[in-house]
């Protein structure tokens, strides 16, 4: 049965996977750049190596370190980060130094900090919302209160991510802001 302990377990897994989510997006973008340059072999080889690395890290996290399912999620996030780093280095060499990886460290670090803020906000709000929602009489139905806790925690996490990007003046966030304003004004 899916109870509060199962929800807590799944939320911890989601937090571990969310660490690697920016890297998954960046990896796909790098692969598209390689494909547009006519090179599908580099992303393929990096992905094959990443699959083997993920298997090794999964085994280490379960057998050696005993991290459990959270270790599996963290190893996937770490392998995604390493594959992005490898793709960026290869892309920089392929483009003759157009991409300055040292210059990209700041935005990557900022993005990771914003992801951590979002994950922390989601975790904290998910843990606190059931106490507030249980005071409303209609929400004393456990499943409805649990559903609303998950939904509101997700919304608060996304809002925290967006606001931290705006506060940090992350490049490109103002483009997204103008798209949101345009779509909301219609």
Which pLDDT value is given to residue 82?
Answer: 93
Task: Find the mean pLDDT for residues 85-98.
Answer: 84
pLDDT, mean of residues 31-50: 91
Buried b (16+ CB within 10 A) or exposed e, 157-170: beebbbebbeeeeb
- Contact indicator for 165, 114 with CB cutoff of 8 Å: yes
Rounded-to-integer distance, Cα 87 and Cα 93, Å: 10
Contacts of 153 (CB under 8 A, 6+ apart): 11, 122, 123, 125, 126, 129
- Please, how many CA atoms are within 13 Å of residue 50, restricted to the half-sphere of its CB? 22
Query: What's the mean per-residue pLDDT of the chain?
Result: 82
pTM exceeds cut of 0.85: no
Structural domains in the chain (count): 2
Q: Mean pLDDT across the stretch 22-28? A: 84
**74 and 105 housed in the same domain:** no
92 and 106, same domain (yes or no): no
pLDDT number for residue 4: 67
Same domain, 90 and 134: no
Same domain, 69 and 156: no
Within this chain, do residues 6 and 92 fall inside the same structural domain, yes or no? yes
Do 10 and 76 belong to one domain? yes
Query: How confident is the model over 89-104, as a mean pLDDT?
Result: 78
Tell me which residue range forms the domain holding 80. Answer: 1-99
The rounded distance, in Å, linking the Cα atoms of 147 and 116 is 23
């Amino acid at each position: 049965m899916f109870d509060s302990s199962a929800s807590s377990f799944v939320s911890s897994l989601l937090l571990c996977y969310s660490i690697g989510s920016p890297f998954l997006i960046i990896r796909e973008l790098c692969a598209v750049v390689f494909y547009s340059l006519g090179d599908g072999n580099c992303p393929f080889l990096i992905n094959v190596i990443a699959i083997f690395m993920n298997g090794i890290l999964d085994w280490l996290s379960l057998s050696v370190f005993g991290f459990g399912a959270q270790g599996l999620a963290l190893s996937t996030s770490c392998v995604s980060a390493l594959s992005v780093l490898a793709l960026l280095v290869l892309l920089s060499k392929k483009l003759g130094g157009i991409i300055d990886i040292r210059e990209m460290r700041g935005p990557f670090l900022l993005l990771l900090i914003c992801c951590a803020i979002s994950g922390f906000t989601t975790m904290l709000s998910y843990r606190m919302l059931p106490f507030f929602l249980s005071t409303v009489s209609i929400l004393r139905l456990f499943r409805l209160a649990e559903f609303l806790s998950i939904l509101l925690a997700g919304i608060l996490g996304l809002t925290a991510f967006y606001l931290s990007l705006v506060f940090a003046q992350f490049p490109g966030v103002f483009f997204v802001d103008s798209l949101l304003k345009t779509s909301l004004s219609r």
